[in-house]
């Protein structure tokens, strides 16, 4: 395969920058905007709008995970840009979700100071878990950069897949030309979906749980629970017995010795 055109590299690197910007914008929105307490009663209309908004974001992942759609993207663009196209769309949609998310009146809980500081290490653990798991599976590949930097090297699939793992999905895509490898390094030796676990810790370990935050935390967690069986079924179908063996070595999906 020829070296990628400079425009392809620029597209991929811009997508990587957008990927980071989307995550930073989410953290800002969840920490600041979503943390504002809105007086009054929770409006069903705002909750319904937010559910539809997040469902559209989740549906995007499900559509892009289909083999037919991925094959179409590879034919339509320079093949190594497949992941980068996904990252562009997912990043823009995450920014759109955060921007358009409607405030929901009400407060689920509020832990007074200084006791609320006890949750900070839990949130930091969620951040560390996400970053550590991303490092294991290669953050550059996750952002669509590795595929363009080294197009001769087949994209790897290093562990269990996901959307959203974090929150864009980490499935590089099964490659029939090379065997899939499922790492048990670090967090992937504890649970099969550590990025999902990191997300759950991040969104729930807050001292002030506004209803705006709670709707996002609940709907995203429900999506995770629904998505995991489908993602694992896809991985089992594309990896021979590699993922079955990984499941035997790491039996827990999200919580060690529980689930």
Count CB neighbours of 149 within 10 A. Answer: 15
Q: Which two tokens stand for residue 91?
A: 């990043």
H or E element in which residue 129 lies: helix 120-137
Q: Which two tokens stand for residue 161?
A: 């897949």
Q: Confidence band (pLDDT; 50, 70, 90) for 250?
A: very high
Quickly count helices (H) and strands (E) in the chain: 10, 2
Q: Is residue 133 scored above 70 in pLDDT? A: yes
Instruction: Yes or no: say if 36 and 210 are a contact pair by the CB < 8 Å rule.
Output: yes
Tens of pLDDT along 162-219? 333 433 344 433 343 445 667 777 899 999 999 999 999 999 999 999 999 999 999 9
Tens of pLDDT along 134-167? 888 777 777 777 777 776 554 433 333 333 343 3
* Rounded-to-integer distance, Cα 35 and Cα 153, Å: 44
| Coil, strand or helix at 109 | strand
H or E element in which residue 107 lies: strand 107-110
- Mean pLDDT over residues 222-231, rounded? 90
Percent of the chain with pLDDT over 70: 85
- pLDDT value for 2: 54
Q: Is residue 12 scored above 90 in pLDDT? A: no
pTM summary value: 0.82
Among candidates 258, 248, 84, 259, which has minimal Cα distance to 182?
A: 248
Q: Is residue 18 scored above 80 in pLDDT? A: yes
* Rounded-to-integer distance, Cα 235 and Cα 34, Å: 35
Among candidates 244, 258, 255, which has minimal Cα distance to 193?
A: 255
Q: What is the DSSP string of 49-77?
A: HHHHHHHHHHHHHHHHTSHHHHHHHHHHS
């Amino acid at each position: 395969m020829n070296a990628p055109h400079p425009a392809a590299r620029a597209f991929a690197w811009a997508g990587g920058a957008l990927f980071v910007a989307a995550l930073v914008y989410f953290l800002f929105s969840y920490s600041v905007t979503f943390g504002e307490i809105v007086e009054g009663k929770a409006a069903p209309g705002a909750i319904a709008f937010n559910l539809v908004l997040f469902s559209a974001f989740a549906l995007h992942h499900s559509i892009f995970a289909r083999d037919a759609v991925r094959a179409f993207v590879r034919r339509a663009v320079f093949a190594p840009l497949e992941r980068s196209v996904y990252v562009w769309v997912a990043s823009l949609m995450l920014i759109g979700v955060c921007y358009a998310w409607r405030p929901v009146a009400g407060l689920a809980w509020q832990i007074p100071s200084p006791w609320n500081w006890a949750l900070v290490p839990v949130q930091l653990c969620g951040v560390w878990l996400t970053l550590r798991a991303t490092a294991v599976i290669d953050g550059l590949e996750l952002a669509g950069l590795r595929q363009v930097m080294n197009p001769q090297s087949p994209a790897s699939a290093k562990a269990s897949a996901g959307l959203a793992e974090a929150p864009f999905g980490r499935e590089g895509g099964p490659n029939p030309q090379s065997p899939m490898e499922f790492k048990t390094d670090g967090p992937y030796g504890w649970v099969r979906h550590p990025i999902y676990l990191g997300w759950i810790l991040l969104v729930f370990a807050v001292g002030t749980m506004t209803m705006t935050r709670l709707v996002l935390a609940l709907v995203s967690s429900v999506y995770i629970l629904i998505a995991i069986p489908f993602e694992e079924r896809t991985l089992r179908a594309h990896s021979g017995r590699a993922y079955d063996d990984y499941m035997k070595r790491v039996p827990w999906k999200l919580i060690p010795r529980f689930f």
